[in-house]
Structure 1
Amino acid sequence: MILPRGISRAYLATRPVDFRKGHAGLALIVQSVLDQNPYNGAIYLFRSKRGDQLKCLVWDQTGLVLVYKRLEQGNFAWPKVQDGVMRLSRAQYEALFEGLEWRRMVAQRVVPPAAAG
Structure 2
Amino acid sequence: MMFPSNRVRVLVSTQPIDFRKGHDGLAALVSSVLRKDPFTGTVFVFRSRRADRLKLLYWDGTGLVMAYKRLESATFT
Query: What is the aligned residue count?
Result: 76
CA offset at residue 8 of structure 1? 1.2
> Could you tell me which residue of structure 2 aligns to residue 71 of structure 1?
71
The gaps in structure 2 that reach 5 residues or longer are none
TM-score relative to the length of structure 1 = 0.62
**Inter-partner Cα distance in structure 2 for 1:71 and 1:47:** 12
Q: 1:1-117 to 2 correspondence within 5 Å?
A: 4-6=3-5, 8-77=8-77
Please tell me the root mean square deviation across aligned C-alpha atoms, in Å.
Answer: 1.3
Residues 43 and 58, structure 1, Cα contact 8 Å, conserved in 2: yes
Residues 44 and 57, structure 2, Cα contact 8 Å, conserved in 1: yes
Q: Percent identity?
A: 50
Residues 2 and 60, structure 2, Cα contact 8 Å, conserved in 1: no
Determine which structure has more spread, i.e. the larger CA radius of gyration: 1
